[in-house]
Copies of this chain bind each other. A is one copy, B any other.
């Protein structure tokens, strides 16, 4: 079962709006075992819409169209579809009443253009829009299904969840597709792929499919089965092999974030955490507090950007600072240990490095970062060498620091 998505709207092409509709629909459909083979974004242009439809109908059984159903002049999708399917528009009474109720409940006047939105192609099945005025339309055409919906994300989602997807499940006998994702941090895509060559060959030979999905600072490993949940345990066994081989790097599954995983571990242990940051300037704490409920374990911290504040706030020894420099094992360990004591937390993360673009020196080029985690049994520090992009160095430092804390918590 193949599907295509046609997204209509100039705002998408000029980049004013990001096409989150297509990714949401892709998630829903692939979760049901429907393979999305193409997403096509075009502008509100009758000829382009017809062409995109012609081509999509050739490749897929299900076509989802979003956008161009509003009440203004540039919204032409409904008229284009009526002409494409050789039909005319007729007033759809239930939709007219729905639109009327919509305006009444909001105490807003209903305009003629809104009434016109209830004029819909004669040959389609209406998919009601509970959140707005533009109805969804379902066309059966030469054994294919074409569904047109508004581009406003929550209106589209409402129509999909309540009307389109249930009708698809009912009308088609779907083969189920099953995805599982393992998340790793601190290991490059190519190194991981190289280390897992044998494993990948075995996996592919068994008819499963594998994808490496790199995203900033991490690599996701996704296994797909085209036979639904029946191969769930096999997939799990493949993942267990990866975990055994890379215990330090595998931090979670599916949609986990590193901060959420660490947050759960801290909550389980009733432990608290604080931070002492230099080059990352608050980014480590910021990542930890992105998780709702983080105030249960995150207490606070210090930003010690200057030499003076490293000494004053977390009592880094002046001689140590002078002798080894701010970016050194000795200094970052003092930051973590003294921070842990001052903040009265169980764990304290400290980071000091050269984010760039300037500040590199002999033996410590831009991208050098020392990270330490102070814990009840002492302190662990490690040196990392990232690249020469300031923003990315900060991002990598954050993920690496939080993963170091995770390893400390689970003993990896």
Q: Contact check, A15 vs B27: say whether CB atoms are below 8 A apart.
A: yes
Tell me which residues across on chain B come within 8 A of A283, comparing CB atoms. Answer: 282, 286
Q: Which secondary structure dominates chain A's binding surface? A: mixed
Tell me which residues across on chain B come within 8 A of A300, comparing CB atoms. Answer: 302-306, 309, 313
Task: Tell me which residues from 130 to 185 in chain A have a Cβ below 8 Å from any Cβ of chain B.
Answer: 131, 133, 152, 154, 179, 181
CA distance A304 to B343 in the complex (A): 10
- Contacts A71-B189, A212-B72, A300-B309 given; does A26 touch B37 at CB 8 Å: no
Q: Contact check, B12 vs A106: say whether CB atoms are below 8 A apart.
A: no
Q: Contact check, B14 vs A27: say whether CB atoms are below 8 A apart.
A: yes
Q: Contact check, A105 vs B306: say whether CB atoms are below 8 A apart.
A: no
Tell me which residues across on chain B come within 8 A of A108, comparing CB atoms. Answer: 188, 191
Interface centre among A281, A283, A289, A357 (most CB of B within 10 A): A281
CA distance A309 to B300 in the complex (A): 7
Smallest CB separation, A325 vs chain B (Å): 14
Write the A313-355 contact mask toward B (1 if CB under 8 angstroms, else 0).
1000000000000000000000000000001100000000001
Residue of B nearest to A306 (CB): B299
Is A90 on the interface with B (CB-CB < 8 A)? Answer: no
Q: Contact check, B42 vs A41: say whether CB atoms are below 8 A apart.
A: no
Smallest CB separation, A253 vs chain B (Å): 13
Task: Tell me which residues from 4 to 22 in chain A have a Cβ below 8 Å from any Cβ of chain B.
Answer: 10-20, 22
Cβ 8 A contact of A211, one of B23, B74, B215, B306: B74
Is A207 on the interface with B (CB-CB < 8 A)? Answer: no
Is A94 on the interface with B (CB-CB < 8 A)? Answer: no
Task: Tell me which residues from 267 to 284 in chain A have a Cβ below 8 Å from any Cβ of chain B.
Answer: 274-275, 277, 279-284
CA distance A20 to B300 in the complex (A): 33
Residue of B nearest to A301 (CB): B303
Cβ 8 A contact of A40, one of B40, B191, B385: B40
Q: Contact check, A305 vs B309: say whether CB atoms are below 8 A apart.
A: no
Tell me which residues across on chain B come within 8 A of A290, comparing CB atoms. Answer: 281, 390-391, 394
Write the A207-222 contact mask toward B (1 if CB under 8 angstroms, else 0).
0001111111000101
- Of the listed stretches A81-89, A109-117, A372-380, name the one at the interface; the rest are far from the partner chain: A109-117
Task: Tell me which residues from 354 to 401 in chain A have a Cβ below 8 Å from any Cβ of chain B.
Answer: 355-359, 365, 367, 385-392, 394
CA distance A41 to B386 in the complex (A): 32
Q: How many copies does the complex hold?
A: 2
Q: Contact check, A288 vs B281: say whether CB atoms are below 8 A apart.
A: yes
Smallest CB separation, A388 vs chain B (Å): 8
Is A193 on the interface with B (CB-CB < 8 A)? Answer: yes
Is A24 on the interface with B (CB-CB < 8 A)? Answer: yes
Q: Contact check, A23 vs B30: say whether CB atoms are below 8 A apart.
A: no
Tell me which residues across on chain B come within 8 A of A409, comparing CB atoms. Answer: none
Residue of B nearest to A305 (CB): B300
Q: Contact check, A72 vs B190: say whether CB atoms are below 8 A apart.
A: yes
Q: Contact check, A281 vs B292: say whether CB atoms are below 8 A apart.
A: no
Tell me which residues across on chain B come within 8 A of A282, comparing CB atoms. Answer: 275, 277, 281-286, 289, 301, 303
12 extra interface residue pairs, beta carbon distance < 8 Å, beyond A14-B27, A109-B191: A11-B222, A13-B30, A13-B37, A19-B23, A38-B42, A39-B39, A105-B387, A108-B188, A111-B191, A281-B289, A289-B305, A300-B305
Residues of A within 8 A of B (CB): 10-20, 22-28, 30, 35-43, 48, 52, 55, 70-74, 105-109, 111, 113-114, 131, 133, 152, 154, 179, 181, 188-191, 193-194, 200, 210-216, 220, 222, 274-275, 277, 279-286, 288-290, 292-295, 298-306, 308-309, 313, 343-344, 355-359, 365, 367, 385-392, 394
Q: List 27 A-B contacts (CB under 8 A).
A: A10-B211, A11-B222, A12-B39, A13-B30, A13-B36, A14-B27, A15-B27, A16-B23, A16-B27, A16-B181, A22-B41, A38-B48, A39-B39, A74-B210, A105-B385, A105-B387, A106-B367, A106-B385, A111-B190, A279-B289, A280-B286, A282-B282, A282-B285, A283-B286, A285-B303, A295-B306, A299-B305
